[in-house]
Amino acid sequence: MKLLVIGCGGVATVAIHKCCENPLFTEIMIASRTKSKCDALAEKLRGRTSAKLTTATVNADSFESLCEIMKECKPHTVLNVALPYQDLTIMDACLECGANYVDTANYEAENTDDPEWRAIYEKRCKEKGFTAYFDYSWQWAYQEKFKKAGLTALLGTGFDPGVTSVYSAYALKHYFDEIHYIDILDCNGGDHGYPFATNFNPEINLREVSANGSYWENGHWVETKPMEIKREYDFDGVGMKDMYLLHHEEIESLAKNIPNVKRIRFFMTFGQSYLTHMQCLQNVGMLGTSPVHFEGREIVPIKFLKALLPDPASLGPRTVGKTNIGCIFRGVKDGKEKSIYIYNVCDHQECYKETGSQAISYTTGVPAMIGTAMVASGTWKGPGVFNTEEFDPDPYMDALNKYGLPWQVNENPVLVD
C-alpha cells in the first residue's frame, strides 16, 4: 500500500518510524517543505524497514504543488502531519487525485485577519458560543464531497484528539449504557531543562493555550477566560500537578457523537514557570498573529518567537519524566452509576531511545500511524468524513497496545470536581 506523508517535523518523525514497522505500508513517500529533513529521516530508516522510502519537496499551501506530487506518487492514503493551516488544501488535493485523507488536528486559519474568514468566524462564535480559531465546521463541510468520491477522511487521529475519542467509544461499547460526564486529562510531567519551550509546534501550541477556555454542558458551550479554571490532580506515574481547563477540539465532535452526554471538559497540566513566560510574552505582544512593520519589513510576532524557541523535535535527548493522558468517564451501566479512567502513561526517555523523539511527538505520531493503518487496511471504512470515535474502537485499542501506547483502566478513579 502506497502512503504519502506530508510534513517532516516532530510528529511526522514518529509516525513514519511506526509506519516503517507496519508491513501494511510497502511504499512511503515523505514530502515536506524542507526536503533535507525528509532525506535525513529516510536515510536513518532505510535498512530497518522493508518499505520503499522516497522523498519530495511540497508546498502544502498550494493545491497545484500537492497535486503534482500526488500524481507522481499515486498514494492510496495521505497522512497530513504538516500544520492545521494546510488541512483544506490537502483535502482538496486528495479529492482531485483520488486518495484517502488522515490528519491529527482540525483546520485553523493561518491569517486570522483575512476579512472573508473573519466574517465566517464571527458568525460561528455567535452561533456556537466558543471563540477558538479552530473548529470542525470547515472539514465536516467536505462530507458530501468525500462520500461522492467514495473516499474516507479520518480527522484528528493524534492522542488528543484521537486516542481520547477512541477511549470514549471503547468506554461506551464495553463499560456503559450511557456516558454522562467526560473529563479529558492531559498531563505532561516531563522536564526538558529549558526555561521555556513548547512540546509541539510553538505557534499552534501557544495559540491554543493562550485562548479562552470552554466546555460543553447541557447542550451548549460555556466559555471561560484563559486559565480561569484550575484543578489539582494526582496522576499515576507522574504525581500531583496543577491542571487548567482549555478549549479542545475533540469536545466538539464528542458532543455530537456521544449520545446523552451532559458535560465534556478538557484539562491540561502547566507549571507556573510556563504560565509566567506565556503571560509575559502575551503582555508584550509576542503571541500576536498579525504582521507588524519592523525595520522595513513585515514580521508576524508569533512566527518570530517560533524561530527563537527550541525546536520541539530537538527536545528528545533532554526531556525526562512521564506523560499521563486519558479520560475519566462517569455514567450508568445496568441502572447503576459508575466511573472509570482509561489512560496511558508514556516515558519521555523510552520514546527517545526508540524513535529519537520525546513523548509528546510519540503519543501523537503512534496514533497517527494507527489511524492511517485503519483506513489503509479498510478496517475502518466508509466514504465520508469521520472522527475517530465513529468507528469500532476495538482494533484501534489493540493496535495501541501493540505499537507502544498500552492503556490501563482504573475502575475507581478520583473524580475532578
Site residues, ligand NDP (CB under 6 A): 7-12, 32-34, 37, 58-61, 81-84, 86, 104-105, 156, 158-162, 200-201, 204, 312-313, 364
Position with the least CB separation from ligand NDP: 9
As a whole number of angstroms, the distance between CA 139 and CA 157 comes to 14
Is the Cβ of residue 149 or residue 268 nearer to ligand NDP in the bound state? 268
Is the Cβ of residue 82 or residue 281 nearer to ligand NDP in the bound state? 82
Helix (H, G, I), strand (E, B) or coil at 130: coil
Is the Cβ of residue 165 or residue 339 nearer to ligand NDP in the bound state? 165
As a whole number of angstroms, the distance between CA 396 and CA 370 comes to 7
Is the Cβ of residue 75 or residue 158 nearer to ligand NDP in the bound state? 158
Is the Cβ of residue 176 or residue 362 nearer to ligand NDP in the bound state? 362
Report which DSSP code applies to 311. Answer: P
205 neighbors 291 (Cβ within 8 angstroms): no
The CB-of-123 to ligand NDP minimum distance in angstroms stands at 25
Helix (H, G, I), strand (E, B) or coil at 90: helix
DSSP lists the bridge partners of residue 80 as 6, 103
The CB-of-84 to ligand NDP minimum distance in angstroms stands at 5
CB-count exposure of residue 298 (10 Å: 0-12, 13-18, 19+): exposed
The CB-of-33 to ligand NDP minimum distance in angstroms stands at 3
The CB-of-85 to ligand NDP minimum distance in angstroms stands at 7
Number of helical (H) and strand (E) elements in the chain, helices listed first: 15, 18
As a whole number of angstroms, the distance between CA 199 and CA 313 comes to 8
The CB-of-79 to ligand NDP minimum distance in angstroms stands at 10
The CB-of-46 to ligand NDP minimum distance in angstroms stands at 19
As a whole number of angstroms, the distance between CA 113 and CA 115 comes to 6
Is the Cβ of residue 88 or residue 332 nearer to ligand NDP in the bound state? 88
The CB-of-248 to ligand NDP minimum distance in angstroms stands at 9
Is the Cβ of residue 12 or residue 149 nearer to ligand NDP in the bound state? 12
The CB-of-325 to ligand NDP minimum distance in angstroms stands at 9
Q: What are phi and psi of 22, to 5 degrees?
A: -100, 115
Going across the sheet that includes 27-32, the strands are 52-57, 27-32, 2-6, 77-80, 100-103, 152-155, 384-387
Residue type, 182: I
The CB-of-62 to ligand NDP minimum distance in angstroms stands at 8
Is the Cβ of residue 339 or residue 355 nearer to ligand NDP in the bound state? 355
Is the Cβ of residue 121 or residue 159 nearer to ligand NDP in the bound state? 159
Strand ranges in 106-189 using DSSP code E only, listed in sequence order: 152-155, 178-188
359 neighbors 346 (Cβ within 8 angstroms): yes
Strand ranges in 237-284 using DSSP code E only, listed in sequence order: 239-245, 263-269
213 neighbors 228 (Cβ within 8 angstroms): yes
